[in-house]
Amino acid sequence: MKITLVVTGRSYHLTKNIPSQLELDAGSGLGEAISTINDHLPTEQPLPQSCLIAVGGKHVGTVGTHPPTDLNDGDELVIIAPVAGG
């Protein structure tokens, strides 16, 4: 199945090699999606644990803390890296 991936916020410059459409096995969940994304990143720089995750416009948790979440073909996964500055 295919999902749309958006990575925004602070870490976008680390993610330029991640495709905007992610191919996953049917029945994959959020955990598999995060692993697939990290496969495109340097080993020493995976997605930060504090990145907020939204599936279909709904916040489900962070990269480090999220409940098991099913994904469906066509879902949009938005990963918002935390921003901080004043």
Percent of residues in the chain assigned helix, strand, coil, to nearest 5: 15, 35, 50
Decide if residue 62 touches other proteins (CB under 8 A).
yes
Decide if residue 61 touches other proteins (CB under 8 A).
yes
CB of 1 to other proteins, least distance (A): 22
d(CA 14, CA 28): 24
Q: Which residues pair with 49 in a beta bridge?
A: none
Binding-residue total with other proteins (CB under 8 A): 25
Decide if residue 83 touches other proteins (CB under 8 A).
yes
Q: Per-residue x/- mask for other proteins, residues 27 to 56, rule CB under 8 A?
A: ---------------------xxx-x-x--
d(CA 48, CA 84): 14
